[in-house]
């Protein structure tokens, strides 16, 4: 009996201590008491934005150019999935605010003075950076965002041709919340094989690496309702240098071994003035590196699996010899495009392919002796000897194309 009472006393003491510990760790905040930021747009501040409240600093003004930060904040109870519903008065699901500052942290501090609830970045889905801002360097933003534990690494960072704030005021018909429309659009391009899966965390890793440069989606707004993927913005270190066209993105993805197809194009039919329309089903890329006579060398092997989706009624696509000629022509075209893209990036000193990382991983002795830094690799990358070998296979001809 005494043992039973003693055991129950121990259990009671244990649960009492456990409850005390858990109670001490308890922390909560009603989601409606947070200002959930869904998207951030970063632009250069113009003359009308130069006036600011001395909230983050009093006398010692930072010696950096001011930026204008526009945010999209979710209105509690108004964010609904899907297109806007008919009937009744519609409330805006988001609240758009704009502030200025010398840094992102300062701009967020200034924003907090205009919002009663705590600013929360845990629901941040996309950051839109204006092209002019990106060309001056994004590391100043990356550092602040990396150090914020609320910011998710799987959010997207994109570059806009227009004023980035314009993307916060889009009114898409297919989605009530502009941010969700923008994110869904970018992710659909990834799923369709038209853009590599390169969310913000991967971009940060590329910018920080010694042997690779980063890239981001390059967007263009079409009116007030649509957004178009207009290519890929490429960087040298943390500065945007330029962009490549959507068709070139497909060739870039082949070099870097993104297997999902999705790109379409034309291939001339040899000996005629006609062409076929092909669609990429699968692409595989492989990079091998060597050190030859004290210099780095790279070989790129690419294999395309294609389907013919449109032909010409006067051309017999059941002819295997003709198909072989089309494959040969398609391989030549792809080789020319890939070589041109690599040469363009070499002139720009932007190694978005990651050749430097292959050299650093496979030939560490050479890297540590001859390269050592990213700046040195940019110089060496200009003179890198790269051979391209493309195998172009037509696996299927659609019935409608015969």
Q: Which own/partner contact pairs does 365-371 have at CB distance under 8 Å and 24+ positions apart?
A: 366/291, 366/296, 367/211, 371/210
Please check whether residue 148 lies inside any domain of the structure. yes
pLDDT at 246: 93
Q: Among the listed ranges 82-96, 180-194, 353-367, which one has the minimum average pLDDT value?
A: 82-96
177 and 257 belong to one structural domain: no
In a shared domain, residues 272 and 218: no
Secondary structure string (H, E, C) spanning 295-319: EEEEEEEEEEEEEEEECCCCCCCCC
What are the CA-CA distances from residue 54 to residues 57, 105, 141, 345, 346 (Å)?
5, 13, 21, 43, 45
| Whole-number average pLDDT of the chain | 87
Q: What was the pLDDT predicted at 184?
A: 92
| Contact between residue 366 and residue 220 where contact means Cβ atoms under 8 Å apart | no
Answer whether residue 134 is part of any domain: yes
DSSP single-letter state for residue 131:
H
Q: In what order do the strands lie in the sheet with 385-397?
A: 264-268, 275-292, 295-310, 385-397
Q: Indicate the residue among 244, 261, 295 that finishes a domain.
A: 244
Q: In this structure, are 139 and 282 located in the same domain?
A: no
Strand positions, DSSP E, 21-66? 34-44
Region of poorest pLDDT, from 22-26, 30-34, 167-171, 294-298: 22-26
Last residue of a domain, one of 188, 215, 244: 244
d(CA 182, CA 201): 18
pLDDT band at 315 (very low <50, low <70, confident <90, very high): confident
Sign of CA dihedral 158, 161, 165, 171: negative
**Residue 57's pLDDT band (cuts 50, 70, 90):** low
The SS3 of residue 5 is helix
CATH assignment at residue 281? 3.30.300.210
Residue 26 confidence (pLDDT): 47
Six-digit token string for 279: 């669609």
Residues 73 and 157 in one domain: yes
Same domain, 54 and 174: yes
- Same domain as 264, residue 217: no
3-state SS assignment for residue 283: strand
What is the residue whose two structure tokens read 């005494």? 2
**How far is the C-alpha of 398 from the C-alpha of 395, rounded, in Å?**
10
Report yes or no on 73 lying in a domain. yes
**Cβ contact 58:178 at 8 Å:** no
Specify which residues 280 forms β-bridges with: 306
For residues 138 and 151, give the distance between their C-alpha atoms in angstroms, rounded to a whole number.
16
Residue 397 is part of which domain span? 248-401
**In the structure, what pLDDT confidence band is assigned to residue 6 with cuts at 50, 70 and 90?**
low
What is the pLDDT at residue 116? 86
pLDDT attached to residue 63: 67
Tokens 């923008």 belong to residue:
182
* CA 121 distance to own-chain centroid: 19
- Establish if 120 belongs to a structural domain: yes
- Residues facing 306 on adjacent strands: 280, 394
pLDDT band at residue 212 using 50, 70 and 90 as cut-offs: very high
Cα angle 212, 63, 201 (rounded to 5 degrees) comes to 30
Same structural domain, 83 and 141:
yes
Whether residue 13 lies inside any domain: the answer is: no
Q: How far apart are CA 289 and CA 269, in angstroms?
A: 35
| Count of domains observed in the chain | 2
Q: What is the mean pLDDT of residues 193-216?
A: 96
Taking only the tens place, the pLDDT of each residue in 239-283 is 999 999 999 999 999 999 999 887 888 999 998 999 999 999 999
Tell me whether residue 21 is in a domain.
no
Domain co-membership, 146 together with 287: no
DSSP-assigned letters across all residues of 68-105: EEEEEEEPTTT--SSSPPPSSPPPPSEEEEEEEESSHH
Average pLDDT over residues 142-146: 91
> Could you tell me the two tokens for 231?
């290519």
For residue 188, the model assigns a pLDDT of 93
pLDDT at 9 over 80: no
Residue 131 lies in a domain: yes
Identify the weakest region by mean pLDDT among 18-32, 83-97, 104-118, 191-205.
Answer: 18-32
pLDDT (mean) for 138-158: 94
What per-residue confidence (pLDDT) applies to 33? Answer: 77
Which of 44-48, 77-81, 145-149 is least confident? 77-81
Q: State the DSSP string of 160-173.
A: ESS-GGGGGG---S
- Please check whether residue 253 is in contact with residue 326, taking contact to mean a CB–CB distance below 8 angstroms: no
Same domain, 282 and 324: yes
In terms of domains, do 220 and 88 share one? yes
Same domain, 217 and 263: no
Distance, CA of 393 to CA of 328 (rounded, Å) = 9
Q: What is the mean pLDDT of residues 364-377?
A: 97
pLDDT at 56 over 80: no
pLDDT tens column, 91-126: 678 899 999 999 999 999 999 999 989 999 999 999
Return the pLDDT at 7. 61
**215-248 confidence digits (pLDDT tens):** 999 999 987 778 899 999 999 999 999 999 999 9
Tell me, yes or no, whether 101 and 145 share the same domain. Answer: yes
Residue where one domain finishes, among candidates 244, 265, 298: 244
What is the pTM (predicted TM-score) of this model?
A: 0.86
3-state secondary structure of 92: coil
Judge whether 288 lies within some domain: yes
Pairing mode of beta strands 156-160, 126-130? parallel
């Amino acid at each position: 009996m005494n043992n039973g009472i003693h055991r129950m006393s121990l259990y009671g003491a244990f649960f009492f201590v456990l409850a005390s510990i858990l109670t001490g760790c308890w922390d909560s905040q009603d989601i409606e008491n947070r200002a959930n930021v869904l998207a951030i747009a970063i632009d250069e501040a113009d003359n009308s934005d130069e006036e600011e409240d001395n909230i983050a600093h009093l006398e010692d003004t930072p010696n950096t150019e001011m930026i204008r930060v526009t945010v999209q904040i979710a209105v509690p109870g108004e964010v609904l999935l899907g297109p806007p519903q008919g009937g009744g008065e519609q409330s805006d699901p988001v609240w758009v605010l704009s502030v200025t500052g010398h840094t992102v942290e300062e701009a967020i501090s200034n924003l907090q003075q205009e919002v009663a609830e705590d600013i929360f970045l845990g629901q941040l889905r996309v950051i839109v950076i204006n092209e002019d801002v990106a060309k001056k360097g994004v590391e100043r933003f990356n550092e602040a965002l990396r150090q914020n534990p609320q910011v998710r690494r799987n959010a997207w960072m994109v570059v806009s041709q227009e004023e980035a704030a314009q993307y916060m005021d889009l009114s898409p018909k297919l989605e009530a919340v502009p941010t969700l429309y923008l994110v869904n659009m970018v992710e659909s391009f990834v799923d369709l094989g038209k853009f590599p899966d390169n969310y913000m965390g991967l971009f940060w890793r590329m910018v920080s690496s010694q042997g690779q440069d980063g890239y981001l989606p390059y967007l263009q707004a079409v009116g007030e309702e649509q957004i178009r993927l207009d290519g890929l913005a490429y960087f040298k270190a943390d500065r945007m240098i330029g962009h490549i066209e959507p068709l070139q993105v497909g060739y870039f993805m082949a070099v870097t071994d993104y297997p999902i197809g999705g790109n379409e194009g034309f291939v001339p039919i040899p000996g005629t003035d006609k062409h076929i329309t092909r669609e990429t089903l699968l692409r595989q890329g492989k990079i091998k590196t060597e050190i030859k006579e004290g210099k780095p060398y790279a070989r790129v092997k690419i294999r395309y699996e294609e389907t013919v989706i449109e032909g010409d009624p006067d051309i017999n696509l059941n002819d295997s010899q003709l198909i072989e000629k089309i494959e040969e022509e398609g391989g030549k075209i792809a080789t020319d495009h890939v070589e041109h893209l690599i040469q363009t990036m070499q002139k720009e000193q932007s190694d978005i392919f990651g050749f430097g990382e292959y050299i650093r991983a496979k030939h560490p002795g050479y890297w540590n002796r001859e390269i050592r830094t990213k700046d040195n690799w940019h110089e060496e990358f200009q003179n890198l000897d790269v051979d391209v070998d493309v195998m172009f296979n037509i696996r299927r001809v659609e019935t409608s194309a015969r």
